[in-house]
Amino acid sequence: MLMRLVAGALVAFGIATAAHADDRWKTLPDFPPMPKAEKTGTADVNGIRMYYATYGKGEPILFIHGGLGFADVWAKQVEDLSRDHLVIVADSRGHGRSTRTSEPFGYDLMTSDYVALLDQLKVGKVTLVGWSDGGIIGIDMAMKNPEHLTRVIAQAANVTVDGVKSDVMENKTFADYITRAGEVYKKISPTPNEYDAFVEQISHMWMSQPAWTPEMLGKIKVPVTIVIGDHDEAVKQDHTAQMAKDIPGARLVILKDASHFAMLQDPAGYNAMIRDAMAGK
C-alpha cells in the first residue's frame, strides 16, 4: 500500500450499515473473540518481542494478518482449522502485541521474523495463509525460504505498488478498518500512544515495496494459491490475475461477494477455500 493512501486513514468514516448476503462485501464485521489458546508467548526475534499463540494439533498452518492488523482477525479460521491442525498466529513486528525497533520496515525483514519464529517453535514446514501484507510475506517466503513451506495461500496481496487501487481510501469499509485497527492498537500494543508514529514508519515501506518482477516470481517452486474477493477495495483484479500467471502452477481463486476482508465477511467460505487449497483442489 502507498503512504498517500494511509495518510487519510486516520479520518473516521461512518460504519457501513447492515447489508444483504449478496452485498456483505460492503460491511466490516466486528473482530470476533479468539478461542482459548493452548500456548501464548513472545519470541525474541531480530531485536523485537513477537507475540504468538498456538492452537490444536496436526499439520501446521501459519496465519499472517495484514497491515495495521493483529492476529485475532483470524478467530473464525482458528476456531475451525484448529480442530484438526496445529494453528499458529502471531502479531507482525510493531503490530498488535509485538514490539518494533527503529529499523526500517521491509517485507524481507518481516519475513525473517516469521522464519525465526518458526525455528524457535521448532515447526517444520507450514501451510502459510496470508492476508494483504501477510500474503506478501508469504510470497516473499516462497521465494527466499521455501524450506519452511508446504504451500502458500495469499489473499489480497500485491507484488508491485501499482497493484494497489489509487482510490482505496475513498471506500468507507476500508477506512473503517483503519480506524478500528487504531482503536485495537491503543488497547493492546506495548506502545499504545505511538500509533501515528507506527503508521508513519510502516508507510515508508508501502511507498516502494514490494517490487518483484515476473522473473522473480517465476522461480517459486512451492504450491501457491492466489486469492481475491470479487469486490476487493484495495488490490486490482487484473494485477491479481497476472500474479497467478507469473507464479508457476499457481491457482487463482475469486471469492464471491467478498472484499479485502473476506475472512470476516464469509468465514465459512474462507475456511472451505483453505481446506480445498490444502487438498489440492
Average pLDDT for 256-277 = 98
Question: In this predicted structure, what is the pLDDT of residue 183?
Answer: 97
Neighbours of 182 (CB within 10 A): 18
Do 153 and 128 meet the contact criterion of CB atoms below 8 Å apart?
A: yes
Average pLDDT for 17-40 = 85
Task: Tell me if residue 8 falls in helix, strand or coil.
Answer: coil
- 76 pLDDT more than 90: yes
Going from N- to C-terminal start, the domains of the chain cover 3-278
Strand order in the sheet with 251-255: 39-45, 48-55, 85-90, 59-64, 126-131, 149-155, 224-229, 251-255
What is the rounded distance in angstroms from the CA atom of residue 85 to the CA atom of residue 60? 6
- 276 pLDDT more than 90: yes
Backbone region of residue 159 per phi and psi (left: phi > 0; alpha: psi in -120 to 50; beta: other values)? alpha
Do 67 and 132 meet the contact criterion of CB atoms below 8 Å apart?
A: yes
Question: In this predicted structure, what is the pLDDT of residue 205?
Answer: 97
- 80 pLDDT more than 60: yes
Q: How far is CA 5 from CA 1, 177, 197, 219, 262, in A?
A: 7, 13, 16, 31, 21
Q: How confident is the model at residue 8 (pLDDT cuts 50, 70, 90)?
A: very low
- Residue 64 CB partners (closer than 8 Å, separation 6+): 90, 92, 114, 128, 129, 130, 131, 133, 134, 135, 137, 138
Task: Tell me if residue 256 falls in helix, strand or coil.
Answer: coil
In the 3-class helix/strand/coil scheme, how is 14-26 assigned residue by residue? CCCCCCCHHHHHH
Question: In this predicted structure, what is the pLDDT of residue 10?
Answer: 36
- Number of H helices and number of E strands within the chain? 10, 8
Q: How confident is the model at residue 21 (pLDDT cuts 50, 70, 90)?
A: low
Residue 80, amino acid: D
Domain boundaries 3-278, corresponding CATH code: 3.40.50.1820
Question: In this predicted structure, what is the pLDDT of residue 20?
Answer: 56
Locate 137 and state its grid cell: 510475506
- The pTM is what? 0.93
Task: Tell me if residue 64 falls in helix, strand or coil.
Answer: strand
- 175 pLDDT more than 80: yes
Task: Tell me if residue 255 falls in helix, strand or coil.
Answer: strand
- 72 pLDDT more than 50: yes
- 2 pLDDT more than 50: no
Question: In this predicted structure, what is the pLDDT of residue 169?
Answer: 87
Please give the angle made by the CA atoms of 23, 64 and 218, to the nearest 5 degrees.
95
Do 92 and 133 meet the contact criterion of CB atoms below 8 Å apart?
A: yes
Whole-number average pLDDT of the chain: 93
Rg of the chain on CA atoms, in Å: 17
